[in-house]
Amino acid sequence: MATAGTDRRILVTGASTGIGEKTVRRLADQGYRVVAAARRRERLEALAQAHSSVEAYPLDITSDEDVAALAEHLSSTGGLDGVVNNAGGALGLDRVEDGDVDGWRWMYELNVLGTLRVTKAMLPLLRAAEGGDIVVVTSTAAYEPYEGGAGYTGVKHAERMLSTTLRQEIVGEPIRIIEVAPGAVATEEFSLTRFSGDAERAKKVYEGYQPLHGEDVAESIEWALGRPEHVNVDLMVVRPRDQASSSKIAKKGA
């Protein structure tokens, strides 16, 4: 397995904005070759324009065909050394009794089955490379319940189980499974998506305290990837200092 800064090729999903975009930029700046994947082609192409070592690859991770075509493309263009499973998101903040079945299904399709689909498709490439890394961006929601959060905490718990189970199943192979679990990160779209475009409500999520920036998480991912190859950073929980749990945030004026 090649080590950090030695031209490793890393796939980042959810690369068009937020944590994924910052991760692409950070890895490219550190000498990695990066395949930036998400649905919005023009945003990925802007990233590729800005960084010569970034390749734009538009796809929908909920599509079997798209992910199979990506694996084929990577296989025929030099293979892969690592994947950052970052694409994901939340929808709604409803109590369980009001839970929207379609919204929960959307979250499961994207966060859990999307990560499963990509991970399954990339494993043979990492094996062919005789080593590699699988990063999964979960959340502190993978560890704690909070009121209104069951749909999202449920899928993030499931993503965490995918990661921890896979680590047990493939131990002995030269593949690291790295979970990064952020607390509140003020990205442009995460809360907008959660609240179906309600900008006022989305803005309030980050008011009265200093949330993380996408760069903070990108830096954590890059650090974990850069450890010597015998070192597996199983889990990094990265929160804002003012956040003690998903529902306990020290907000000024609150």
Shorter beta-carbon distance to ligand NAP: residue 45 or 60? 60
In whole angstroms, the minimum distance from the beta carbon of 80 to ligand NAP comes to 17
Shorter beta-carbon distance to ligand NAP: residue 14 or 82? 14
β-strand pairing of 248-249 with 243-245: antiparallel
In whole angstroms, the minimum distance from the beta carbon of 127 to ligand NAP comes to 24
Active-site residue identified among 108, 143, 146, 152:
152
Shorter beta-carbon distance to ligand NAP: residue 1 or 46? 46
Only one residue has tokens 């499961």, namely 108
In whole angstroms, the minimum distance from the beta carbon of 185 to ligand NAP comes to 4
The closest alpha carbon to 10, from 57, 42, 43, belongs to 57
Residues in contact with ligand NAP by CB under 6 A are 13-20, 38-40, 60-62, 86-89, 110, 137, 139, 182, 184-185, 187, 189-190, 193
**CB proximity list for 131: less than 8 A, separation 6 or greater:** 1, 81, 174, 175, 229
Distance of CA 14 to the CA centre of its chain: 7
Residue 143 among the catalytic residues: no
In whole angstroms, the minimum distance from the beta carbon of 86 to ligand NAP comes to 5
What order do you get walking across the sheet with 175-182 strand by strand? Answer: 54-58, 33-38, 9-13, 82-85, 132-137, 175-182, 235-238
Residue 29: DSSP 8-state: H
Shorter beta-carbon distance to ligand NAP: residue 89 or 132? 89
| Residues classed as catalytic | 152
